[in-house]
Amino acid sequence: MDNALVLDEDGLEEMRRLTNGDQIQPAAPVRPDWSIGLASDVIESARQAAGRIRARHRGMVEGILDTGQDLLAMNSKLGHGKFGAWVEASFGWSVRTAENYMRVADEFGDNRELVTQLPPTTLYGLAAKSTPRHVREDIIVEIEGGSVLNSKTVKERIRAAKQAKTSPGQDGGRKARNADRTSIVLNHEGKQPDTPSGETA
């Protein structure tokens, strides 16, 4: 196994000083797992294909945002009744399909750099009305922080949040928070909050 020494900028500068300016060669890049055992021309071909695919994906997602913005503009001009008829006559789409585009544009239109990292189905899921806002915001923060989240992970987190919100006996903690707020308000008014018999406040 190669035990190459990798230095940061300060370390490289110190080595240059100690070796009277001799050029330090950086450590060879580590080959990714998928490339082990492949010929260099196959690896290069795969890298080039990945670049083309990323460029097309970026264009596709930007197209979704642009389409959504056009649909938002026409919806405001045509009004609800005419808009649906226009969408169906012009594209053969349902209003729901148009709404998917519009929600993505409405939620993410100012954040193109972020959304181009996500597949369209993930964008539609994140932008859906039924997706809790806190889940959407948490996922965006994670992606902006450099996390790579695949569609399956995002979908599972959305599903889990929806289940927690609608499960019987669960209210996401709203009742407890409201009780705490009531208690705080009553305490500020100089009154003692009600407590069950036999308990002290």
Per-run averaged pLDDT (10 residues), the chain, 201 residues: 49 50 48 83 92 89 92 92 94 93 88 80 86 88 81 86 70 47 40 43 39
Question: pLDDT value at position 146?
Answer: 81
Q: What is the pLDDT of residue 169?
A: 53
d(CA 57, CA 132): 26
CA separation, residue 157 to residues 110, 124, 131, 146, 152 (Å): 24, 14, 10, 18, 9
* Alpha carbons 69 and 109: distance in angstroms, whole number: 8
pLDDT value for 79: 83
- Provide the pLDDT for residue 15: 47
Pair of tokens at residue 99: 């709404």
Q: How many CB atoms lie within 10 A of CB 172?
A: 14
DSSP 111-147: -HHHHTTS-HHHHHHHHSTTS-HHHHHHHHHHHHTT-
